[in-house]
Chain A
Amino acid sequence: MSRSVVKGLPIVAMFCVLAAFPLSADFREPPRSFPLPLAEAETVVCRWLTGAGLDVSRTDAGDGKVLFKAGKKGESWEIELAPNSPLAFIMVAGCFRNGEPCPEGTAGLWTYLEGYERGVSVENPGRGQKAPPAVAERDGAVACIRGEGGGGTIQFSGFFVSREGLVLATAHDLDGVPEVTVILRDGEQRAGRIVKLDRARDLSLIDTGSGVDASVSLSSGRGGLREGETVYSIGCPGNRPGTVHMGVVDGPQRLVNKLPLWQVDMETFPGGSGSPVFDRRGNLVGVVKGRYRGTDSRGFLIPVGTVLEFLGEDRRGSP
C-alpha cells in the first residue's frame, strides 16, 4: 500500500489533509455502486468529508482501489472506493460516532452522491431539479443542522434570517437538545445555541454567534399562495446541502391542530424539515414542516405569517 495525495489524485482532492485514524472495528456497510469514474468519485467524496469538517487521509489500496480514512472528535470514517468499470465505482463506507456505528452518516453520503450524479449527469443533464435564478440566489443562506437528540443523531435544515447569524428552523426533534452544529453552504461549521423554541408552531431560532454573507429577507415574504402555484424548497434532506425540490400548492391553507399549513405536492425527504420555500421570484413563502406520513411527495409548509408571529414574539423580548 502506498500513501499518496499528489499523483493520480484530482486537484481538489489534493487539499485533503494527510492524517491517520485507526479503524476501531469493521463497521462498514454493504457495497454500493455509482455511475461515476473513480477519479471523479475521489474528488467528490473527499470534498464531502472535508466539508463535514473531517480530516482526511488517502491511501492507494492496490488493485486500483483507494482508501479514505477520516475523522474528527467523536467521529471516524473509513471509505473504500474501487473501480466497477471505467465509468463506475463501488463504495464501501462505514462511520462511527461516539463509539457507535452511525448508518445515518453513510446514508447522508449516499444521498449526496446520488444528488451529485443527478446534478451533473452526462446521460440525463435535465434530470436534476433546477431553481429559477431568483431562487437559486437564496442558496447561500441555507444551512444543514445536526445535533444529538434523545433518540440519536438528528439532521434537519434551516436558513439564516439575519446577517448577525440567526437561523430559523423547525422545532420537532429538538426537545432536550441545547446545542446543534450548523453547517453553512461553504462548509463552515458553527456551534448553534437554541435561543427560542416553539413546539406548537414547530419553529426554532438558533444563534450561530457570528455574522454571515447571506440571509433570507422576511420583509419580502409572501403570505398568500395560489392553488397550483409553483414553489421551490432549498434544504439538505439526507444531509445533502443545496437540494432543490420543486412543488405545487395543491389546496387552500388548512388548519392542523389550530395552526395553518400549506399542503404542497412536493418531494419531501427526512432532513428537509426547516428548508425555506420560495416563490418563482425568490420571495419566502413558507418553511418545510414535514411530509404526510407514508409518502414522500406530499409536504406541509409553515406559512410566512406563522414565522413572523414567532419572530415577532422574539422581538418583544421572549425568550
Chain B
Amino acid sequence: MKTFSGRSIVMSFAVLVALLSGAVSHGKVSPGKTAPSFVLTDLAGRSHDLSKVSGRPMTILYFFDGESRPSQEGLVSLNELAKRHKGSDLAVWAITRTTKEKVAGFGTSAGITFPILLDGGAVGDLYGARVVLPTVCILGPSLKVLDYFQGGGKTTETMLVRVAERTLQRRQTKLARAISEEVIRKNPRNVKARTVSGYAALKEDDLKGAEKAFTDLSRDGTDGEVLGKEGLAAVYVKMKQPAKALQVASEVEKKAPGRAYVHVIKGDVLYAQNRKKEAEAEYRIATRKDEVEPYQSAVRYNQLGRFYGNDGQSGKARELYEQALTIDPFYIEGTTNKGLAYEKEGRWDKALESYRQGMALDGKDTFAAVLARKAQEMLDLQKDSERSKRVDQLVKDLAARYKSRKESGVKPADEWTSAPMVLTFIDFQEKGGLAERDGLSAVLAAQLAQQLNASGRVRVVERAILDRLLAELNLGSSELADPETALRLGKILAARLIGTGSLLHMPGGSLLSLRLVDTETSAIPQVTTRQIDMQASLEKELFLLNREILKTVVDKYPLQGFLVKVDGDKAIVNLGSKQGVVGGTKFEILEEQEPITYKGKVLRSAPKQVALVEVTKVEPDLCQVKVIRQDRPVKADDKVREKLEEVASK
C-alpha cells in the first residue's frame, strides 16, 4: 500500500489552498463586474492607481510570470503592437509578482514600454491571477470587466483577437485591422481574426478589401463559410446590392440557424424596401439568437430600438439602447440614440448624461458634442425661469397667431431698408433605410444654425422656440412635410427663409437634399444635394453648406439701406449688426436712373453703381464705412446695397 509522506501531504494541501483561493478570487473578477481598484508601483518606483484611470476607454491588465516564456510572449506581442501604433490608446499595465531584479532584465531586453507593476501578491490574488499565468483582464470605461481569461500559448492569440474585437468596437478600425492581421500572420486559419479584419475593412469603406477577405474566409471550412458569408451579406448591402445580400443571408441562415447578425442585415434591407413589418420581425429574431460576434451583439438591440423609435415608441426604444450599452459599453451610437429617446420623453437631464457618456468614449464625436450642447441649452432655459416664462409667452403668442392665420406684424421702417435675415430650419424628412444612428437631421440643423449665427449675417430661430411651438401646435413630421404648413410656420416666426428638405439614408451614408424656401414669395432660391457620411465628411459638408447658404443670402437678399451722414471719404449707413452687417462688408452706392418713355411705355433701367464703400466699424444700429472707389462724391440719403465680392486669397 502506498503511503504519503508528511511533506507531500503538506504540499498537496498548499496546492489545494492555492487553487481554491484562485477560484474564489476568479469569482470576484468576471465580465460585467467592476474591477477591484489597487495601487502598485512600477520598476522606476512610480505609483499607479487603477481608480485614477477609470475614465480611460480600455485598459488591459496583464498578470504575468517574469520568468515564464508563455507569459513573456503575450506581453511582447502587445508591446510590439503598442510600439507600432504609438498614440493609439492601447493602454496596458503588466503586473507581476516576480522580483524586481528578475523582471527588470526582461523588461529592458524586450524594450517593454508599458509600466511593469510589482505586486507583492495581493493584487494577483484579488484578480485570481496566482496559479495560472498569464491572466488577462480587459477593462472598459468605469473599470467594467469586459474579458477575463487565463493561460499561456494559445491564450496570447485569443487575447489578441479579443483586443482586436474590442478595438473594432471602439471604431479604431486601423488598429483592429493591424492586430487581427498580426494574428493571421501567425495563424492564417484563425477565422475570428479574419472576420475582424473583414469588418474593419468594411467600416473603413474598403469594400473591395472586405469582399476579398470574406470571400476567402467563406471558402475555409464550416465556421469560415458561415462567418465569411455573413460578412459578404453585409458587404453587398453597402455595395447597394440588396438582392444579393438577401440571397447570401438566407444561405447563412440555412447553414447556421443560430446566427444573429444575419437577421440584422436582412432587417436593414427590408426596412429600406419599406417592408417594415418584415424588418421588425427580423430585428426581433436577431435579439433572440445567441451566435453573434461581440462587436455586433449590441447592434441587434440598437436596430430594434431604432425601429421602435421611428415608430414613436421612444420608451421601448430607450430600453433597447440600454440593453445595447450593457452588452457593449463602447457603443457610442447607443449613447446618443439613448439620449435622443430621453429627449423625446422630455428628460433633458438624462439626455445630457447619455451624450456626455458618448463624449467620454470619443471626445471628437460631432454627434455627441452637438446634442450635448443642445441639451445643455434646454436645461439652462428650464433653470432660467424668467427666460423660460418669456419663451412660453412668445410660443403662446406665436401659436395663437398661427391658429388665427395672422402673420408677424413687424413691418420695415421703409421699403428699401433691409430687415435682418431670419432663417428657420424645419426638420428634414428622413427616408430610406434605418441609419444605425438617430438624430442626423437634428445635428445638421443645430450645427448649421451655429455656423450661420456665428457669421453675424443670418439669424437662425432658436431651436427651443421652434420645438416648443411645434409641441404647442401638435405638429409632427408628417404635418411638416406639407409645404403649406412649413411656409405658414416660417411666416409666423418672422423668418424670411425656411431651410427644409429630406435625408435619404442609404448604406454607407445619407443623401441630404436641402431647400431654402422664401416665405414671402414661395420661391426656392437654393437647392443643394449632398452625400453625407456620418463620420468622415460630416464637418466638411457642413462647412460647405454653410458657405452655400451664406452666398445665397448675400447674393439673393443683399442688405439695402441709406447713407445717413457723409464726412469726406467716411460715411455712416443705417444698417448695423442687428441687420447682419459684419466688418469688411462692401456696399455699392446706387443712383436711380431716370425712366425712359418710349412710344408711351415707361422703361426703367437698373440703378447705376456710383461708388463702393467698405465697412470699417459696426455698431448695433449703424455702421461706419470708408469710400474705396467713387464716380461722384457720395452724399447723405444715397441708397446702398451689399455687394457679393469674389474674394481670392491675398
A→B interface (CB under 8 Å): 6, 8, 10-12, 14-15, 32-40, 43, 63-65, 82-88, 90, 110, 113-114, 117, 120, 122-123, 163-164, 186, 188, 210-213
Contact = CB atoms under 8 A, between A and B. Distances in A.
B546 interface: yes
A123 B539 CA distance: 18
Nearest to B365: A11
Nearest to B615: A85
B87 A186 contact: yes
Nearest to A32: B650
Q: Which of A37, A90, A110 has the most CB of B within 10 A?
A: A37
A177 B25 CA distance: 56
Given A15-B364, A122-B544, A82 B649 contact: no
Interface of A is mostly: loop
Given A11-B366, A11-B370, A40-B451, A211 B583 contact: no
A141 to B, nearest CB: 13
Given A15-B364, A83-B582, A117-B649, 20 more contacts: A10-B450, A15-B363, A34-B647, A38-B455, A39-B451, A40-B451, A63-B617, A63-B618, A85-B584, A86-B456, A86-B457, A86-B582, A86-B585, A88-B647, A90-B584, A114-B649, A120-B544, A210-B84, A211-B80, A211-B86
B166 interface: no
A120 B540 contact: yes
Contacts of B84: 163-164, 210-213
Contact of A10 (B451, B618, B650): B451
A188 B87 contact: yes
A11 B544 CA distance: 15
Contacts of A211: 80, 83-86
Interface residues of B, number: 50
Contacts of B584: 82-85, 88, 90
A249 B440 CA distance: 46
B101 to A, nearest CB: 27
A35 B554 CA distance: 14
Given A8-B454, A33-B647, A85 B370 contact: no
A33 B646 CA distance: 12
Contact of B647 (A6, A84, A122, A210): A84
Contacts of A37: 451, 454-455, 543, 546-547, 550
21 contacts: A8-B454, A10-B450, A15-B364, A32-B649, A33-B649, A35-B646, A37-B451, A37-B546, A39-B455, A40-B451, A63-B618, A64-B618, A83-B584, A84-B584, A85-B554, A85-B645, A87-B550, A114-B649, A123-B646, A211-B86, A212-B84
Given A12-B539, A15-B363, A120-B544, A35 B647 contact: yes
Interface of B: 80, 83-87, 174-175, 178, 363-364, 366, 369-370, 373, 447, 450-451, 453-458, 539-540, 543-544, 546-548, 550-551, 553-554, 580, 582-586, 617-618, 644-650
A190 to B, nearest CB: 8
Contacts of A6: 373
Contact of A34 (B364, B539, B649): B649
B583 A83 contact: yes
A87 B458 CA distance: 12
Contact of B178 (A12, A110, A213): A213
Contacts of A10: 450-451, 454, 539
B586 A85 contact: yes
B642 to A, nearest CB: 9
B178 to A, nearest CB: 7
B489 to A, nearest CB: 26
A213 B174 contact: yes
Contacts of B80: 211
Contacts of A110: 649
Nearest to A12: B539
A37 B450 CA distance: 12
A213 B85 contact: yes
Contacts of A114: 649
Contacts of B554: 85-87
Contacts of A122: 544, 547-548, 551
Contacts of B617: 63
B585 to A, nearest CB: 5
Contacts of A212: 84, 86
A130 to B, nearest CB: 14
A85 B86 contact: no
Contacts of B547: 36-37, 40, 87, 122
